Structure 1
Amino acid sequence: MADRPPSPTAEERKELDKAAKQKEQEEQAALPYKWTQQIGDLDLTAPIPGNLKGKDLDVKITKTTLKAGIKGQEPIIDGTLPHPIHPDESTWTLEPLTSGGKELNIHLDKANKMEWWSHVVTSAPKIDTAKITPENSKLSDLDGETRGMVEKMMYDQRQKEAGRPSSDEEKKLEMLRKFKEQHPEMDFSGATMG
């Protein structure tokens, strides 16, 4: 068995993370656009000369591809999306900037609302999605099913921290209590919950 190199120390790991973050920031800064994302959507902006209008742009958004740029020029972005989107819910606008010039804004509505993207198109450099710290969202912003799931997770976390049973364990205990009531003749003294 070959000797494995020693694992990096906490300080070395911090330096490696810092170097990786710096490289990532440089790669992202070199792109002709800026982009941000929430868990459910993605927004992209690119500077456009102030004398241009929407009709001067070529923007195509499909379920799996994105192409945007000035007609007759090399596209600002052109490629395959890493994950599908809802093209009917995705939009683009051309907005004037206070500093002069204009900005192309593209909003992509992700099909999977529970997935971080590591890049806008697969040909672009990736970001480390494990380092994303999502902004706090309000429970009221979530759809019913997701909200219920999050509330259950939060309840179970509070119960665990307090040393009490989770919601699933409470259901099992309640079923056992009812069963005991219905069968008083049975001896449950040696029963364990597993």
Structure 2
Amino acid sequence: MAIISDFNEEETTPQTTTNTVVSTNANNPPQQPPSEENKPERLIPNKNNGLDMDNYSWGQSLEEVTINVPVPKGTKARFMTFEIKNTSIKLYLKNQETPILEGDFFKPVKTEESFWSLEDGSNVSILLTKVDKMDWWKSLFEGGPVIDTQKVEPEPSKLSDLDLETRSTVEKMMFDQRQKEMGLPTSKEIEDQSMMKKMMEQHPEMAKQFANAKMMGNMG
């Protein structure tokens, strides 16, 4: 985890390991997944494809997650303690028991490629590098408010900066999103239809059997 601050001093925080114990027995059966009506509301993402919360805001690209946390004016880097693991984060001011930011990430990040800096003594800017760079996060933290990833809008101007594989994935996601909104087939459905048409052309007898079966089904 790299630190960029207004001080040329490095602070190290001992890493701690948290063991989570999960127990199951007859008296505590596993919970069933929530039904559609009980699923959390999907919120419209902000302009950075994240959410603006009361005490922080976050955004994302396919490769990175950014977090901005306001802190009291005049805060110095040496007054802060920052802990980050590949699955969690904790940020708090020294001599305060309650963290100003804490949670388990929605998905893992690369700690060696993540950074934080204190800007103008009033805002902590955090950059996290995703492990999975092919998916949009629905939430910053596990159990937190979720966004509607169908409404995520990658900046077209930045598509050219992506590698060929990532750019192809983004363009396909955008195409499928537009198709769904217009009630049209997705790229996968178009591919399946094309494959079926090609197979029918190569095997006329199969096409005839398929047509007969379809006709019988309609008659039934």
TM-score normalised by the shorter chain: which range applies? Answer: 0.5 to 0.7
Q: Does 1:59 align with 2:59?
A: no
2:194 aligned residue: 170
Change (3 A) 1:190 1:84: closer
The one of 109, 116, 119 aligned to 1:92: 116
Change (3 A) 1:155 1:173: farther
Which structure has the higher relative contact order (CA within 8 Å, separation 6+)? Answer: 2
Q: Which amino acid counterpart does residue 68 of structure 1 have in structure 2? A: L
Q: Deviations over 1:98-154 (max 9, x none)?
A: xxx4211112233344243445365xxx32434983234435457055247437747
CA distance in 1 between counterparts of 2:56 and 2:139 reads 14
Any unmatched runs of 5+ in structure 1? 1-16, 22-27, 181-185
2:147 aligned residue: 129
Q: Does 1:48 align with 2:68?
A: no
Task: Please say which structure displays the higher CA radius of gyration.
Answer: 1
Question: Which structure shows the bigger proportion of residues in helix conformation?
Answer: 1
CA distance in 1 between counterparts of 2:179 and 2:70 reads 47
Contact 2:110 2:130 in 1 (8 A): yes
1:87 partner SS: strand
Contact 2:67 2:127 in 1 (8 A): yes
Change (3 A) 1:127 1:80: closer
CA distance in 2 between counterparts of 1:132 and 1:159 reads 14
Count residues with an aligned counterpart: 153
CA distance in 2 between counterparts of 1:108 and 1:102 reads 20
The one of 156, 173, 176 aligned to 1:150: 173
Contact 1:43 1:107 in 2 (8 A): yes
Q: Which amino acid counterpart does residue 122 of structure 2 have in structure 1? A: K
Any unmatched runs of 5+ in structure 2? 1-40, 45-52, 215-220
Q: Deviations over 1:52-76 (max 9, x none)?
A: 4333321121111101122333321
Change (3 A) 1:137 1:91: same
The one of 84, 92, 100 aligned to 1:69: 92
CA distance in 1 between counterparts of 2:84 and 2:206 reads 67
CA distance in 1 between counterparts of 2:124 and 2:202 reads 63
TM-score where L is the length of structure 2 = 0.51
Q: Does 1:114 align with 2:135?
A: yes
Contact 2:91 2:101 in 1 (8 A): yes
CA distance in 2 between counterparts of 1:187 and 1:133 reads 41
1:36 aligned residue: 58
2:103 aligned residue: 79
